[in-house]
Amino acid sequence: MSEPFIRTASGIAVDLPRPLRRWLIEQAAAAADDAVSANGPVKRRLFGPIDLAADHDDPVAELQRQFAVEGSLGVLVETAQATELSEEQAEEWIRGLQLVLVAAAARQAIVTDDDLARIDEQRGAELQTIQALISLLIDALDP
């Protein structure tokens, strides 16, 4: 496999193996489902109060976060099989991958480095893969 993301004249070329693309779709769909599960760890992590000292967040801000989460994960799912992304889609991929990472960490109850050290090797590799894809995509977008 060559570089997974390469800047082209019209956007960002994507060269990911099909199994990885399918896995990304599954992870993004799971994060989207978990984000709406009542009081689940993913929903609490994504939509919990930003200011923990406040009794509640601004409902408009929470709604905007919900739309942003749905939008970024939706773009990731819809374009996971694409061979090229626009810059806007690539930016949504970064946000979507970050949300997938947050959801995976919430499901594993990872908050600290000690929590990260206790997860099994496969889960650790999955988190590293997501982090690597984010980093490589950021590098491809960097002019």
**Rounded mean pLDDT for each run of 10 residues along the chain, 143 residues in total:** 88 96 95 79 71 62 79 94 96 95 87 82 89 96 86
Tens digits of residue pLDDT in 50-59: 665 655 567 7
> How far apart are the two ends of the chain, measured CA to CA in Å?
23
What is the pLDDT, as a whole number, of residue 53?
60
Q: Which domain holds residue 130?
A: 5-141
**pTM assigned to the model:** 0.85
Secondary structure, 3-state, 16-64:
CCHHHHHHHHHHHHHHHHHHCCCCCHHHHHHHCCCCCCCCCCCHHHHHH
Number of domains within the chain:
1
